[in-house]
Amino acid sequence: MRAATPGWRDPRLWVGVLIVTVSVVAGARLLGAADDTVSVWSAASDLGAGDTLTADDLVSTRVRFADDGDLDGYFTVGDELPADLELTRGVGAGELLPRAAVGSAGDSELLQVPIAVDAGQVPGSVQSGSVVDVYLVPSSATRSRPGGKAAGASAGPALSAVTVVEAPPLDEGFAATGQRQLVLAVDDAGARRFFALLGSLDSPVITVVRRG
């Protein structure tokens, strides 16, 4: 027996048309949503305050912003970046580059803060340009006091994502004491917080952790 060709009144035909229509609409919406993304610059690695940005420091990342106004706070790949951009605060690897975190070279007003660190508390790979965190660990005498730790002590870094400006080798000037000097680029507020915390602790151990 020859199968009859479905007519226009056949419910199966209309179900098929409905399925195709829904598929087309859903596909169009997915394509439209994909078009909502925009390419913006993000950090290729950990960068510290005072670092001058180059093309090698940035990677393109596609992002969808819930609010169109949020895009104004970041650099899109289509923006022409000034040649003398300098970070005014640290930016972590993969973090979008905020406009508020950069300025022209020389405008950041960063301070050069020297610290002396026991050689065993700083990685040997730390050098000029490294991005580091600095921790202040209360001494054993402080930890043995009632309360467990001195006022002002914190589990977090005293300085976060700061750039090493100078890092002389151990044999240059501090060999006799077993300490290594580092000069860090720190903004004014960060320097004030660091020295306030340093002064609140009794002979703290300074430990430097290299990022990246």
Domains of the chain: 38-104 (3.90.1210), 111-210 (no CATH)
Query: How deeply is 79 buried, as exposed, middle or buried, from its count of CB atoms within 10 A (0-12, 13-18, 19+)?
Result: exposed
Task: State the Cα angle at 96 between 94 and 99, rounded to 5°.
Answer: 145
Residues 85-113 pLDDT 10s: 888 878 888 999 988 888 776 666 788 89
pLDDT at 28 over 60: no
Residues 129-174 pLDDT 10s: 888 999 999 876 555 455 545 544 557 899 998 989 888 876 655 5
pLDDT at 200 over 70: yes
Q: Among candidates 78, 58, 59, 76, which has minimal Cα distance to 68?
A: 76
pLDDT at 147: 53
pLDDT at 151: 47
Specify whether the CB–CB gap between 53 and 76 falls below 8 A: no
Residues 117-131 pLDDT 10s: 998 999 988 988 888
Task: Record the pTM.
Answer: 0.60
User: What Å distances lie between residue 149 and 134, 135, 141, 195, 209, CA to CA?
Assistant: 18, 14, 9, 18, 21
